Amino acid sequence: MNKETDKFIREGIIRYKQANQIYLTFRSEMQNKLQSILKKRKRWGKLIPDFNSVRSTRFSGAALNARIKVEHEGIVQIIVIIIDWQISDNDFPYFCVWLEDSNNRILDIQEIDWSDDYFYENKTLQYKPNPDDYDLEKDFDRLLDEFIRIFNNSN
């Protein structure tokens, strides 16, 4: 190892406990915020939400999530909302939503004419918020409105 690497490792050893605590607290608070967005939501269209099912799971990589079970036409599925830094082209994350089956497999959804602010890629509806003017609750509420349109447009 070179001196710069040794210096970096030494600094990391000294600051690791504090940095890890900050990371864990941030992760927990953001997951609580995402869960709250789902629990407070009033507009579900044709979906029947199970508010007792709201929880977060661990992802590998740079993403945080919350999920809720919903019933549509007798079928229970899971809507997952995500803050994803990994797919972003800068330090600010994308806000995303996708649909899973009961085995946590991401499902392809019906293509509709998405609003201009959103794009559908890799079975995920994505929104790239403006870092200078974002509001987590408002942005996810609008993203969920857009996503739920697919269920409201079905039979």
Report the predicted TM-score, pTM, of the whole model to 2 decimal places.
0.89
Specify the 3-state DSSP secondary structure of 118.
Answer: strand
- The per-residue pLDDT for 150 is 86
Q: Is the pLDDT of residue 47 over 70?
A: yes
pLDDT digits (tens, 9 = 90+) for 56-114: 998 777 899 999 999 999 999 999 999 999 988 889 999 999 999 888 888 888 778 88
CA distance 104 to 101: 5
Distance CA 134, CA 127 (A): 11
* Percent of the chain scoring above 70 in pLDDT: 98
| Strand partners for 83 | 64, 95
Compare 21 and 105 and report the one with higher pLDDT.
Answer: 21
User: What 8-state DSSP symbol labels residue 46?
Assistant: T
Q: Give the dihedral sign, CA 60/83/126/78.
A: positive
Taken as a whole, the chain contains a residue count of 155
Q: Are 148 and 140 within 8 A, CB to CB? A: no
